[in-house]
Amino acid sequence: MTSAGLGRHTLAAEVTNISRHGFWILIREREMFLPFEHFPWFKDAPVGALLNVEMPGTNHLYWPDLDVDLSVESVEHPQRFPLVSKVQAPPAPYRTRRRKHS
């Protein structure tokens, strides 16, 4: 009996906990916290998409459902990597006043 061929090799990375302030990720036996304040791409992500993390290289994390790439160094030292995003925040919701009927 022959076993199936090997799939694409990925190193271990796992989201271990999520809170309203951020989430913890286990990378090579080291757990690190990613606060949403420094990593806003994940704040409104569905849990399943956040949990679906891959580590295709020794210094590369990828969330395919969110199309987010991060270097491990940016997780370890977020202060070295200022946030740069081409996505603009949506405008504040437009509110209409209700007229009182006389």
Instruction: Flag whether 30 is in a domain.
Output: yes
Quickly count: other Cβ atoms within 10 Å of residue 22's Cβ.
Answer: 17
Q: Judge contact between 26 and 20, C-beta under 8 A.
A: no
* pTM of the predicted model as reported, rounded to 2 decimal places: 0.68
Return the C-alpha torsion angle 74, 75, 78, 84, nearest 10: 60
Contact 88/42 with Cβ under 8 angstroms? no
47, part of any domain: yes
- Per the structure, the complete domain to which residue 36 belongs is given by 13-79
Say if residue 1's pLDDT is above 80.
no
90 within domain boundaries: no
Inside any domain, residue 41: yes
CA–CA separation, 73 and 13 (whole Å) = 14
Query: How much is the pLDDT for 82?
Result: 75
CATH number of the domain where residue 70 is located: 3.30.2020.40
- What is the count of structural domains for the chain? 1
- Condensed to tens digits (0 to 9), the pLDDT of residues 6-24 reads 555 456 899 999 999 999 9
Query: Which residues are 30's β-sheet partners?
Result: 27
- pLDDT score at 12: 83
List pLDDT tens digits, range 26-68.
998 899 999 998 899 999 999 999 999 999 988 999 999 999 9
The confidence score (pLDDT) of residue 95 equals: 46
Asked if residue 4 is part of any domain, the answer here is no
Provide the pLDDT confidence category of residue 102 given band limits of 50, 70 and 90.
low
Residue 33 lies in a domain: yes
